[in-house]
Structure 1
Amino acid sequence: MPQWTQAPEGSNWGRFGADDELGTLNYIGPAERQAAAAEIREGLAFCLSLPLDVPGTVSIHPRRKAPMLQPTCLGDTPYINYPLSNVEAGLQDVLSDDQVLMSLQYSTQWDALAHVGAQFDADGDGEAESVYYNGFRAGKDVVGGGCAGAHGSYAHRLSVARLAESCVQGRGVLVDLLRHFGPGRSIIGLTDLQQAMKAQNVSLRPGDILMLRTGYAEALLDMQTAPDPARLDQTGAVLDGTDTALLTWLGEMQIAAIAADNYAVENPHNAAGSCCYRLPLHNHCLFRLGMPLAELWYLRDLAQALEARGRNAVFLTAPPLRLPGAVGSPVSPVATI
């Protein structure tokens, strides 16, 4: 039985079952993967991840911290260049072993469906409660502890581990917004997006992962030796989450996910008043549709290769870490053409 009596308008709640935790990734099945494999013609592979210590010298999110690599230790002994002795055989191995502490959504990442919920009257009793996709509840299905080293934050449902178990593998389709609109900041609604798609002969099928190149991640990577936060803020296209036509279209197209090379995919809404959520596209995709979002992918090399060949589709493999309870994950996507 569903955990709700009423669902948000235009949502996918219940579409894939009362207990569904995959959302639009359900659109990728064996047939879609098999069709996606046909995009492999040359066997060329492209890494779509930034180095996971980027943003690095340019701070774009104060809560998210860069990776801290350390050796594993036994007592006070660090296991880096550590000699392992086999006295009887007269042999000695040398071992290095390490660990990392990092924010899971610091660099190239997936947002799980537990990342963004909303205040919504899912019970139909006239009082809104904090809920996530498919009616899963804050405090029950998504719980949390404190800060200062406390443990306990945990997504019992909708965690990024569910995405990993689905494998996130299928047909990725690139729309090169940088090529069409240039490197400056532009707000992209449905008309703009369809204009770029038509110019680049892009067509989408159900189950596709829509990849958006804006140039933001490329600029971020280039700035590691000469940071320029002011210029970065004016770099690259962002989707207009207040464009209701765009939001409706995303649901109608039955795409599996959106992966962008920028921060947040959309333009954060800062207008006064109560017309919109702070991140309306996140609300629509993660909360209503159950559509995972990915950010800060590196798409320059792939985009150049596809443009040279007059192509825009790839075989994409991009599973996150299978980390139970996590609401986001670093990822190293691979596109093969």
Structure 2
Amino acid sequence: MPTSTRWTRRPEGSTWGDFGPDDQLGRLNLLTPEKVRQGAAEVTEGLAFCLSLPLEYPGGNVLSPRRFPPVVRPTLRGDHPNMNVRLGKDIKGATDIVSDDLVVLHLQYSTQWDSFAHVGSLFDVDGDGVPEAVYYNGFRAGEDVVGPESAADAGVPMGPGGASTSQAKRLGVENMAVKGMQGRGVLIDLAAHVGRARDYIGYDELMRIMAADRVEVETGDMVLLHTGFGEFLLEQGGKPTHFGVENTCAVLDGRDQRLLQWITDSGLVALMADNYAVEATPSRPGGDVCAILPLHEHCLFKLGVHLGELWYLTELATWLRAHGRNRFLLTAPPLRLTGAVGSPATPIATV
């Protein structure tokens, strides 16, 4: 077993240490130049599909009470809003008109990536019988992922000169940005088989759908699940209801151990969906001691597989099905925002 200065025990079935004692990329290490070439080889038409929702969607805070739509405001030029400002009014002949703005943005409100610092677990990494709060590869809460103790230091925009009080010193989303997040995407079209029913998709159903559509997932692929939920959110016009979001479209059954084992065995490097959490939340009841989000625990904490949520996949899925395809070039970097635990994304699929 690989060794580390941060842990003497690793979770069963995890990849901790497999890519080095201080690795922060997880299975992105399998996103090799060859996988990028394979993705590029899927481009035959030169058509690009935007896989992001408008970032003001889903609308409101029905999906998460802690996250709100972005607020876009102009910057200030002196004591005036910096919009439609004429530059050089005292300079003869100057013709410049400029506008400049800022955004207050909840990083995981809309189309997003989860970094490994987003979800950790209690696990006895020291083998002393006392579980610690840790993240992928044994990086520790309070040391490698830090935050303020007071609510007064969280949840509000800071003024000029303000300093960050929260940071993933390790496992931040910037690691994904530097890696590039480009390679071969493979789409599994759940909606084509189950419609908008709120089905819990386990291993057997997933295998049936993949076989019917002749979908093959190979090591290093990035896998996308089309449920139709992104299209549903657009239809709600920014006003989704609790009933609608809780009873519409398929979700993965994170309690299905065979499904989790397939994620391990497939060699996929990232898993994305157009729904809220990829997996069902709340999940089916588990044992006395278990993760509330078992698929998040399996992917982000154990395997080092990044998750993408609330992507927009319907237009791509429609085109791929019409042309008998399910593979494409995917380009999906997050913001290179040092220390962030998640990030908006504007993924592009090229076919």
1:208-247 correspondence runs (5 A):
208-224=221-237, 227-247=240-260
Give the structure 1 partner of residue 312 of structure 2: 298
- Provide the identity percentage: 52
Output the amino acid matched with 2:176.
L
Structure 2: gaps of 5 or more residues: 155-163
> Is 1:257 aligned with 2:270?
yes
Give the structure 1 partner of residue 100 of structure 2: 97
1:145-160 correspondence runs (5 A):
145=148, 146-150=150-154, 151-160=164-173
> Considering only aligned residues, what root-mean-square deviation do their CA atoms show, in Å?
1.4
Output the amino acid matched with 1:52.
L
- 1:70-102 residue CA offsets vs partner (Å, 9 max, x unmatched): 001134221011110163442131110000001
Give the structure 1 partner of residue 344 of structure 2: 330
Q: Aligned partners of 1:149, 1:66: CA distance in 2, in Å? A: 20
Quick check: 159-168 or 264-273, which moved more?
264-273
Q: Aligned partners of 1:82, 1:196: CA distance in 2, in Å? A: 56
1:13-162 correspondence runs (5 A):
13-57=16-60, 59-85=62-88, 87-145=90-148, 146-150=150-154, 151-162=164-175
Q: Aligned partners of 2:291, 2:305: CA distance in 1, in Å? A: 17
Q: Aligned partners of 1:126, 1:163: CA distance in 2, in Å? A: 34
Quick check: 87-96 or 130-139, which moved more?
87-96
1:266-277 correspondence runs (5 A):
266-268=279-281, 269=283, 271=285, 274-277=288-291
Q: Aligned partners of 2:38, 2:286: CA distance in 1, in Å? A: 46
CA contact (8 A) 2:255 2:286 kept: no
Structure 1 residue matching 2:209: 3-state secondary structure:
helix
> Is 1:204 aligned with 2:208?
no
Q: Aligned partners of 1:232, 1:43: CA distance in 2, in Å? A: 34
| TM-score between both structures, scaled by the size of structure 2 | 0.93
Output the amino acid matched with 1:239.
L
Q: Aligned partners of 1:208, 1:279: CA distance in 2, in Å? A: 23
Q: Aligned partners of 2:51, 2:224: CA distance in 1, in Å? A: 11
How big is the shift at 1:237? Answer: 0.8
Structure 2 residue matching 1:335: 3-state secondary structure:
strand
> Is 1:314 aligned with 2:328?
yes
| TM-score between both structures, scaled by the size of structure 1 | 0.97
> Among residues 280, 284, 294, which one is paired with 2:298 in the alignment?
284
Quick check: 107-116 or 240-249, which moved more?
240-249
Quick check: 57-66 or 38-47, which moved more?
57-66
Q: Aligned partners of 2:104, 2:244: CA distance in 1, in Å? A: 30
Output the amino acid matched with 2:297.
N
Give the structure 1 partner of residue 157 of structure 2: none
Please list every run of at least 4 consecutive aligned residues from structure 1 whose deviation after the TM superposition is greater than 6 angstroms: none
CA contact (8 A) 2:57 2:238 kept: no
> Among residues 205, 213, 217, which one is paired with 1:192 in the alignment?
205
Structure 1: gaps of 5 or more residues: none
Q: Aligned partners of 1:273, 1:76: CA distance in 2, in Å? A: 59
CA contact (8 A) 1:177 1:214 kept: yes
Q: Aligned partners of 2:272, 2:309: CA distance in 1, in Å? A: 6
Q: Aligned partners of 1:149, 1:157: CA distance in 2, in Å? A: 21
CA contact (8 A) 1:118 1:283 kept: yes
